[in-house]
Amino acid sequence: MNYKYFPQTEEDLKAMMAKAGVEKLDDLYAQIPESIRFKGNYELPMSMCEQEVRQLFEKLGKENRQLTCFAGMGVYDHYTPSVIPSLLQRSEFLTSYTPYQAEISQGTLHYIFEYQSMMAELTGMDISNASMYDGTTACAEAMMMAVAAGKKVNKVLVTGCMNPLTFEVLETYALHQGIELEVLPIRDGTTCLDDVKARLAEGGVAGVILQQPNIYGIVEDFTGFADACHEQKALLIIDSVASDLAVLKTPGEWGADIAVGDGQSLGIPMLFGGPYVGYMCCTEKLIRKMPGRIVGMTKDSRDQRAFVLTLQAREQHIRRQKATSNICSNQSLMALFVTIYLSLMGKQGLKEAAKLSYAGAHYLCDELLKTGRFHLAFDKPFFNEFYVKYDGDADTLYQRFIEEGILGGIRLEEGFLFAVTEKRTKEEIDNLVKIAAL
C-alpha cells in the first residue's frame, strides 16, 4: 500500500476488514458477477512521483506556441489581477461543494449574492442567477426559458449576426426540445427591426435572440426591438460580452427580458476554452422560470442576516423531470473569480479598461486602413473587435502572423476579425500592422 493519498496502514486495514466482515479487500466485491469483474491491469503508465508529473506537463506546455493575441470571437485576452488566482486558491472556497448546509457555507452564499448583485448592475436587469456553464449554454437555456414561459409557442428568432459557435449550441438544444429556430437575415452587418416585426406578425414566436456586439464586432442599435417583441408576447433575449457592458447601453436599457452571455471577458484566462462562466439575468417577473441556483437573503435563528439557496422548487433535485432545467451545479468558483474582478476594477476601472480596449482597437483599425490593403466590411460603429476585408491572400497573411508569434485575429470570410484588449500595447499593434503591410 503506502501511497500518499491512501492513509490506511496494514494494521488499519486488518482491523477495518474485520469490522466489515471480509478477509481480503477482494471480498468486498463478492456481489459482482465474475464475468464482469475487472481483474487485469489498466492500460496506463505506472504511478509517477510529483516531480515526474510536473515535468511531463511542462514538456507538453512547451509544445504550445505562446502568441500575442488579437483574436476574440467570444474569448478575449484581458489581464488577470494577481489578487484573483491567489484568493481562488483559498481551499475553503476551492474544496467545498454546493452550499447545501448554509450554516457552514456562508462564504460561498455571500459571494454568490454579491455576484448576482454585480451582474444585475452590469446588465441593467432586476436579478441574476448564481451562474451558468458558459455563454453559449446560458443562451440555450434562455431560449428554452422563453419557450417555457410562452403559451404553446415554439419558434425562436435568432439574429443572423450571431457567433456561429453559439448558434451551433442553440441548434443542438433546439433539435431535441422541438424548438423551431429561424435565422434573421443580415442587413449591412446588422439585424433589421422590420425583419423581426414581419416574422413576429406571423405568430408563434416565443422569443427573439440578439447579440451585442455582434459577430462582426458591430455595436447594434436595438431601438424598438423590445416593443416589437412585447406586442407579440415574445421575450427579448440579448447575448452580450460582459466587460463591454461597463460602457455600452445595457440589455436592461434596451428592454430585454433576459440577458445572457459569457463572463470570460472579466479577466478570466483563455485557457484553451475553459472554465469560463455564463451569466443569466432577467426581469423580476421571470424569476420563477429561471434555471440554475439562486441565492437569497434571509435571517437565521439568532436574527442575523444570512444567505441561503432559495426558490429551489424550480430545480431538478425537487422537480425532477418538471424542473426548469437539468442544470445542477453552476460555475461557482468562476463566479467568485468574476466577483473579485469586479470588486477590484469597480465602477471606474471596468470603464477605463473598456475605453482602453476601444482606443486600441480603433487605433489598430485606423493603422490597417492606412496600409491601403484593408477596408472595413461595414460602415458601422464597433467596440473592441472589428471585421476587415483584405485585398491579398488572407490565409498566407494569417500564417505569416503566426510565424511572427502573433495570433492575427480570426480568419473570417474575406478577411480578419481582430480584437484588442487593454493588454495589447502600441508596440504590439504597430508590429502587427508592419507585418500586415508587407
Partner 1 sequence: MNSRLYGNLIFELSKEGRKGYSLPRNNFGDYEIPASMQRAEEAQLPECDELTVVRHYTNLSNNNFGVDTGFYPLGSCTMKYNPKINEEIAALPQFQNLHPLQPKSTVTGVRALMILLEKSLCALTGLAHFTFKPYAGAHGELTGLMTIDNYHRSRGDMQRKKVIVPDSAHGTNPASAAVCGLEIIEVKSDAHGLVDLVDLERLVELEGPSIAAMMMTNPNTLGLFETRIPEIAKLIHDCGGLMYYDGANLNPMLGASRPGDMGFDVMHINLHKTFSTPHGGGGPGSGPVGVREGLQEFFPTVSPYHGNFGVMMRAYAYILSLGCDQIKMVGPLATLNANYIKESLKDVYELPIDTMCCHEFVFDGLKDKSTGVTTMDVAKRLLDYGYHAPTIYFPLLFHESLMIEPTENESKETLDGFIAVMRQIAEEAKTDPDLVKSAPHTTPIGRVDDVLAAKHPVVTYRQLKNEIMK
Decide whether 33 or 372 has the Cβ nearer to partner 1: 33
Closest separation between CB of residue 184 and partner 1, Å? 21
Decide whether 116 or 232 has the Cβ nearer to partner 1: 116
Q: Which of residues 155-194 bind partner 1 (CB under 8 A)?
A: 165-166, 168-169, 171-173, 176-178
Decide whether 232 or 337 has the Cβ nearer to partner 1: 337
Q: H helices of 371-393, where? A: none
Residues 6+ positions from 435 with CB-CB distance below 8 Å: 397, 400, 401, 404, 406, 408
Rg of the chain over Cα atoms, rounded to whole angstroms, equals 25
Among 16, 183, 198, 369, binds partner 1 (CB under 8 A): 16
Closest separation between CB of residue 223 and partner 1, Å? 10
Neighbours of 352 (CB within 10 A): 14
Among the listed ranges 102-110, 187-195, 202-210, 386-394, the one in contact with partner 1 (CB under 8 A) is 102-110
Report helix, strand or coil for 157.
Answer: strand
Decide whether 49 or 438 has the Cβ nearer to partner 1: 49
Closest separation between CB of residue 158 and partner 1, Å? 15
Q: Is the peptide bond before 269 cis (omega within 30 degrees of 0)?
A: no
Cα gap 77→91, rounded to integer Å: 27
Checking DSSP bridges between strand 415-419 and strand 235-240, what pairing results, if any? unpaired
Is 283 a binder of partner 1 (CB under 8 A)?
A: no
Cα gap 392→221, rounded to integer Å: 32
Cα gap 420→44, rounded to integer Å: 43
Among 156, 206, 209, 340, binds partner 1 (CB under 8 A): 340
Cα gap 154→150, rounded to integer Å: 8
Q: Is 102 within 8 Å of 307 (Cβ atoms)?
A: yes
Cα gap 401→102, rounded to integer Å: 52
Is 228 a binder of partner 1 (CB under 8 A)?
A: no
Q: In sequence order, what DSSP letters do the residues of 302-361 get, joined into one string?
A: TS-EEEEE--GGGSHHHHGGGSS-S--S--HHHHHHHHHHHHHHHHHHHHHHHHHHHHHH
Among 10, 23, 152, 322, binds partner 1 (CB under 8 A): 322
Decide whether 174 or 200 has the Cβ nearer to partner 1: 174
Binding-residue pattern over the window 41 to 80 for partner 1, x denoting contact by CB under 8 A: xxxxxxxx-x-xxx-xxxxxxxxxxxx-x-x-xxx-x---
Decide whether 232 or 315 has the Cβ nearer to partner 1: 315
Neighbours of 297 (CB within 10 A): 11
Q: Which of residues 103-162 bind partner 1 (CB under 8 A)?
A: 103-108, 110-111, 113-114, 116-118, 120-122, 124, 126-128, 130-131, 133-134, 136-137, 144
Among 10, 23, 151, 304, binds partner 1 (CB under 8 A): 304
Decide whether 327 or 436 has the Cβ nearer to partner 1: 327
Decide whether 26 or 413 has the Cβ nearer to partner 1: 26
Among the listed ranges 153-161, 189-197, 228-236, 421-429, the one in contact with partner 1 (CB under 8 A) is 421-429
Residues 6+ positions from 107 with CB-CB distance below 8 Å: 92, 93, 96
Report helix, strand or coil for 128.
Answer: strand
Cα gap 305→298, rounded to integer Å: 6
Among 10, 23, 35, 151, binds partner 1 (CB under 8 A): 35
Decide whether 233 or 433 has the Cβ nearer to partner 1: 433
Among the listed ranges 151-159, 231-239, 287-295, 371-379, the one in contact with partner 1 (CB under 8 A) is 287-295
